[in-house]
Amino acid sequence: MLRIRRSFAALATSAVAASGLVALSPAASAAASDVPFNCALPFLGAKVFTVSADATFPAKVQAGKASSYEFVATVSIPDDVRRDARGLLGEKVSGSATVPSTLGSQALTVAATIPTVEIPTTEGPLVVQVKGKGNFVAPAAGTAAVTVKDFDAALVFNKNGVDGSPFKIKCSAASAVEIATVKVTAAPKAPVKATSKTTVKIAKKGKKATATVTVKVGKKAAAGKVSVSLKQGKKTKKVTVKLNAKGVGKATFSKLAKGKFTVKATYAGNAKTKGSKKSVMGKI
């Protein structure tokens, strides 16, 4: 497992938005730089929040496989925002954020949450810690970049025990920001199965017919069982025979009526060999 620390300075609102960004921090090796997001805060204007995060992701992930990540974000909110939020909006805040992003060519949308936190009355920055986890499906093999262009946040402030209406904010960067890279390994190739060949010979005696079935894999005998059916008119008889060491099995059908019939032999194959089948016609 790989642990990464990333810091973001964003013109944003709260740990909710920040946690959304952190949720997209798979195994990146380069240090993150402070990234400004243009965000408008109703009543409060534009502000700068600083976020530090530890995120744990697999060092490698196989293409097409689902994987998970965990993160912890610590958000430092400036004192003037703390003071104004406490005075105008409420004593507590909670909320959510939606972060559209990309992992390689794959679109992702991260949903983040922040539990209710008390807004202190004392001077100084408001520090909030957010924990979360999520899942993603690895794209094609290679190094996949995770990028973010914008995000939406909805904050709910609680004043005197009453929740206010969602405080909606939309934040955008000047251009897409690469916040992480993920090393994706190729999926293992499926094993190539050998081809089998089924042949059928029919021997008749009176109202009886015996089908001799031979299944080969190249020049070698196949192993397993063969389903053999005989259809005459509207009636069908079925038996299952086991192949011997030479890949041969016999099925006998008796009390047949005069006329034509069809014998069909089906070999299902196994984990290493493809199945095959053969049909032949006979007449009593």
Other C-beta atoms closer than 10 Å to the C-beta of 42 total 10
Q: State the Cα–Cα distance between residues 158 and 174, nearest whole angstrom.
A: 33
* Strands 225-232 and 196-205, sheet pairing: unpaired
How is 12-28 classified by DSSP, letter by letter?
--SHHHHHHHHTT--S-
Q: Are residues 173 and 212 in the same domain?
A: no
Q: Are residues 161 and 205 in the same domain?
A: no
Q: Residue 57's pLDDT is what?
A: 66
Q: Are residues 147 and 252 in the same domain?
A: no
Contact status, residue 3 vs residue 28, Cβ threshold 8 Å: no
Q: How many residues does the chain have?
A: 284
Residue 121 exposed, middle or buried by CB count within 10 Å (0-12, 13-18, 19+): exposed
Q: State the Cα–Cα distance between residues 170 and 165, nearest whole angstrom.
A: 16
Q: Residue 26's pLDDT is what?
A: 40
Q: State the Cα–Cα distance between residues 235 and 13, nearest whole angstrom.
A: 77
Q: Are residues 146 and 16 in the same domain?
A: yes
Amino acid at 244: N
Q: Are residues 219 and 124 in the same domain?
A: no
Domain count, the chain: 2
pTM score above 0.85? no
Q: What tokens does 174 get?
A: 């000047």
Q: Are residues 120 and 225 in the same domain?
A: no
> Residue 206's domain is classified under what CATH number?
2.60.40.10
Q: Are residues 213 and 145 in the same domain?
A: no
Contact status, residue 30 vs residue 180, Cβ threshold 8 Å: no
| Residue-number span of the structural domain to which 17 is assigned | 2-185
- SS3 (DSSP) at 284: coil
10-residue stretch averages of pLDDT, the chain, 284 residues long: 37 35 38 62 78 65 83 73 90 84 79 87 83 79 80 87 89 75 85 93 94 96 96 95 96 95 96 95 92
Q: Residue 259's pLDDT is what?
A: 94
Q: Residue 1's pLDDT is what?
A: 38
CA distances in angstroms from 4 to 7, 10, 31, 178, 233, listed in the order given = 10, 19, 9, 15, 73
> Residue 142's domain is classified under what CATH number?
2.60.40
Q: Residue 204's pLDDT is what?
A: 93
Paired residues of 202 in beta bridges: 211
* Backbone phi and psi for residue 163, each to the nearest 5 degrees, phi listed first: -75, 135
